[in-house]
Amino acid sequence: MLRTISLFLVLMAVWLLLSGYYTPLIISFGIASCLLSALIARRMEVVDNEGHPLHLGPRIVFYWAWLLKEIFKANIDVAKCVLFPKTYLRPNMFTAKVTQTSDLGKVIYANSITLTPGTVTVDLDNDTVMVHAMTENSAEGVKSGEMDRRVTAVMGEA
């Protein structure tokens, strides 16, 4: 029930932010639609640990802040690649170890790699991830294991 209430609150917050209309009639329609959506999601049994991961709590917010910083640094690396391809462009494919035990942790790790410009997760198989990197810097960023350690800490698996 806690996840359903949380889902309703998140849906309502997003609806209020995107709506732009705050008259009583429109707000009541928003409440009704968000409530109906949350109840349908509950009945479909999609409000679970993976679909609505409340257990990550504030740890995920700190991870997002760190990830945004890494994305910004990777954008600069990709811009160098675009401007000076002969100097910086060194594409390679490699595998890296995955230390997360849950499927959600592995998916967060793989998606974080893909969100970082210059790297793409090509395959995720049990305890390894295959990554394509545009530059040596982006490859070293994944090979260092920093992102893997942070995702493992967010998931509480450390």
- Whether 49 is in a domain gets the answer no
CATH code, domain carrying 86: 3.30.1370.10
**Domain span at 35:** 2-43
Read off the pTM.
0.73
| 9 found inside a domain | yes
Per-residue model confidence as pLDDT tens digits over 29-61: 999 999 999 999 889 887 776 666 666 778 888
| One-letter-per-residue 3-state SS of the chain | CHHHHHHHHHHHHHHHHHHCCCCHHHHHHHHHHHHHHHHHHHHCCCCCCCCCCHHHHHHHHHHHHHHHHHHHHHHHHHHHHHHCHHHHCCCEEEEEECCCCCHHHHHHHHHHHHHCCCEEEEEEECCEEEEEECCHHHHHHHHCCHHHHHHHHHCCCC
Q: Could you read off the pLDDT of 65-75 as tens digits, one per residue?
A: 999 999 999 99
